[in-house]
Amino acid sequence: MQRRQAFKYELKPTGEQQRNLRRYAGSCRFVYNKALALQQANHAAGEKFIGYVAMAAKLPVWKREAGQAWLKDSPSQALQHALKDLDKAYQNFFAKRADFPRFKRKGSGDRFRYPDPKQIKLDQRNNRLFLPKLGWIRYRNSREVLGELRNVTVSGKGGKWFVSIQTQREVEQPTPTATTSIGIDLGIARFATFSDGTWLAPLNSFISYTKRRPRSAKTTRWCSSKICR
């Protein structure tokens, strides 16, 4: 069966890469908030909800708007995925699985994703990762990444940056362990009759029965603390 797993590491960016990480996270936050504001204004005007495809078509226009040319410096797919995150947030709200989407604040949950594995390169031997617009960036390799790379999410917290590498691989499906069970039928003539054919005498004669029979783990298990000494 297919198993998806995420491997998280701390990044070791250079000074320039740190600045770019902040810029890219800020660009994705800006796009998310701009799209959310547009959705709210659209709703207030009585218009229909803007789906992801229509919203993504506005992204090239925003890049050409005055004072927003800096959006061109950020990875395009990361910006597009920010719009997908907003669309997913709305779908969860419509399905009553989450609250209404909120605007993102600087320094609160800074993150962005590279969804296309073809644009990503992983060099585990040299503890480095290639990401579009960032180039080769080093990370603290604490364990081996297993499986085929699917996507990469970069996040910042407390002045540090981290990378979550999601992979997919084939694993064996666990087989249930066979267990043996024995049924018990309680009665008068026989105190207990087991499905394997063995039985215990009625309670009144059970005391004398246990005195005559050597102690065993099987017998003791069915005795009460008041009967067995």
What per-residue confidence (pLDDT) applies to 32?
A: 97
Please give the tally of structural domains in the chain: 2
Q: Which range is least confidently modeled, 109-113, 170-174, 179-183?
A: 179-183
- Please choose, from the candidates 114, 143, 139, the residue with its C-alpha nearest in 3D space to the C-alpha of residue 126: 139
What per-residue confidence (pLDDT) applies to 85?
A: 96
What per-residue confidence (pLDDT) applies to 172?
A: 81
What per-residue confidence (pLDDT) applies to 2?
A: 87
Q: What is the domain range of residue 208?
A: 184-221
Q: Do 95 and 194 share a structural domain?
A: no
Task: Decide if 195 contacts 182 (C-beta within 8 A).
Answer: yes
Radius of gyration of the chain from its Cα atoms, rounded to whole angstroms? 32
Output 215 or 94, whichever has higher pLDDT.
94
What are the angstrom distances between the C-alpha of 206 and each of 92, 95, 210, 224, 226?
64, 63, 6, 11, 13
What per-residue confidence (pLDDT) applies to 184?
A: 59
Q: Do 47 and 9 share a structural domain?
A: yes
Q: Do 108 and 36 share a structural domain?
A: yes
The predicted model scores a pTM of 0.73
> If pLDDT is split at 50, 70 and 90, which confidence band does 173 have?
confident
Q: Do 50 and 7 share a structural domain?
A: yes
Residues across the chain: 229
The average pLDDT across 23-46 equals 96
As a 3-state breakdown, the chain gives helix, strand, coil percent values, each rounded to 5, of 35, 25, 40
Residue 214, in any domain of the structure: yes
What are the angstrom distances between the C-alpha of 160 and each of 131, 168, 177?
17, 27, 45
Residue 176, in any domain of the structure: no
- C-alpha–C-alpha distance, residues 10 and 142, integer Å: 9
Please give the distance of CA 226 from its chain centroid, rounded to a whole number.
52
| Strand-strand pairing, 2-12 and 135-139 | antiparallel
- C-alpha–C-alpha distance, residues 204 and 101, integer Å: 71
The average pLDDT across 100-113 equals 90
What per-residue confidence (pLDDT) applies to 228?
A: 46
Task: Decide if 86 contacts 98 (C-beta within 8 A).
Answer: no
